[in-house]
Amino acid sequence: MPQHASVGRGSITVDHLPPDLTRELYRHMRTARDLDTEAVALQRQGVFPAYVSVRGQEAAQVGSAAALDPARDFVFPTYREMAAAQAYGVDMVGYMATHRALWHGGLYDVAASRFGAVNAVVGGPVPHAVGWAVGERLRGDDGVALAYFGDGASSEGDVHEAMNFAGVYGAPVVFFCQNNQWALSVPNERQVAGGSIAARAEGYGMPGVLVDGNDAGAVHHATAEAVAHARRGEGPTLIEALTYRVEPHSTSDDAGRYRDDSEAERWRRRDPVALLREALTAAGHADEAALAEIDGQALEEARRIRDGVSTAHEPDGSELFTHVFREHTEELTRQRRTWKEEVEL
């Protein structure tokens, strides 16, 4: 059975964490919240064709990403890990350019950032993370891979195969499931047999941890333990962070067609940013003046990123045909020639 961290609906505590860490978690979460608001506005203005909100999942993402070492670990995200990218130190103008569809996977350096490109394949990042982790051990290095995926992706065969492979070979991977309780329009009870994703870990021969995904401190602690476990050569861990997708699946989705907003409203009242803010003051880690200063810095950073991505230079259209294959095929050459003829008309 999974190890249960506190998964409640009340307040949280950060007494067990250093004050500088909790303030840093809050700064990243506050920045991600403000940037999320700006990103939705950019989509409404036609700058982004579409956007997936991370609102309500900031603690799960920031708490986990901040527990990694960007110098040696590697993150494999889905399409909703903006807050994780922010906490991991990714160039956010380059990252957010993904949503403008400017270039293959955004304008940031994936290898240098050690943060994978946005992956819209359901469950797709999970086998990639295992492959990287096995390669890391074969090289004799001690990096750890973290794979993000959702509750819906946990029903994919790719995820099962990756976890089984990692369990058999003891791969240094943290499988991090953000269980936001909706696989697009399908609720947990209609697609997660047994009611728990973390409980599946036992069948793969690895620890399973269920954690309150709205408690940044609890998420950070659980992830740090899982990373240390993998770095010691003790194999993978499956973490299920229980949270909620308070916004629609994307800006193209109408959540009112399949769920009662009263449920989302209950989770909005347990907002992870507000919870951490309250915990910081209760623990004496920051007073209102310090938090107001962080809020101001976060808003300024979010607006800087917004302006940067809004005005980012569009690459030449010919780059559509680069990095598709190692060597250009006859068909790709034909397509490029046709494209060139059309744009030159």
- DSSP label at 189? G
pLDDT for position 7: 58
pLDDT band at 319 (very low <50, low <70, confident <90, very high): confident
The span from the CA of 161 to the CA of 174, in Å, is 15
pLDDT for position 326: 87
- Domain ranges across the chain: 3-314, 317-345
**Cβ atoms 272, 56 nearer than 8 A:** yes
Higher local confidence (pLDDT), 323 or 273? 273
pLDDT band at 321 (very low <50, low <70, confident <90, very high): confident
pLDDT for position 20: 97
pLDDT band at 104 (very low <50, low <70, confident <90, very high): confident
Mean pLDDT, rounded, for 251-255 = 93
Q: How far is CA 71 from CA 74, 91, 223, 245, 337, in A?
A: 9, 15, 17, 31, 42
Task: For residue range 130-181, list pLDDT tens digits in order.
Answer: 999 999 999 999 999 999 999 999 999 999 999 999 999 999 999 999 999 9
Helix H segments across the chain? Answer: 19-44, 58-65, 82-88, 92-96, 110-113, 125-138, 157-169, 216-231, 261-268, 272-283, 288-310, 330-343
pLDDT band at 8 (very low <50, low <70, confident <90, very high): low
Residue carrying structure tokens 């333990």: 225
**What mean pLDDT is reported for the chain?**
94
281 pLDDT above the threshold of 70: yes
Higher local confidence (pLDDT), 82 or 263? 82
Supply the CATH classification number for the domain 3-314: 3.40.50.970
Longest CA pairwise span in the chain (Å): 66
DSSP string, 218-286: HHHHHHHHHHHHHHTT---EEEEEE----S-SSTT--GGGTS-HHHHHHHHTT-HHHHHHHHHHHHTS-
6 pLDDT above the threshold of 70: no
For 117, other C-beta atoms within 10 Å of its C-beta total 17
Mean pLDDT, rounded, for 183-200 = 90
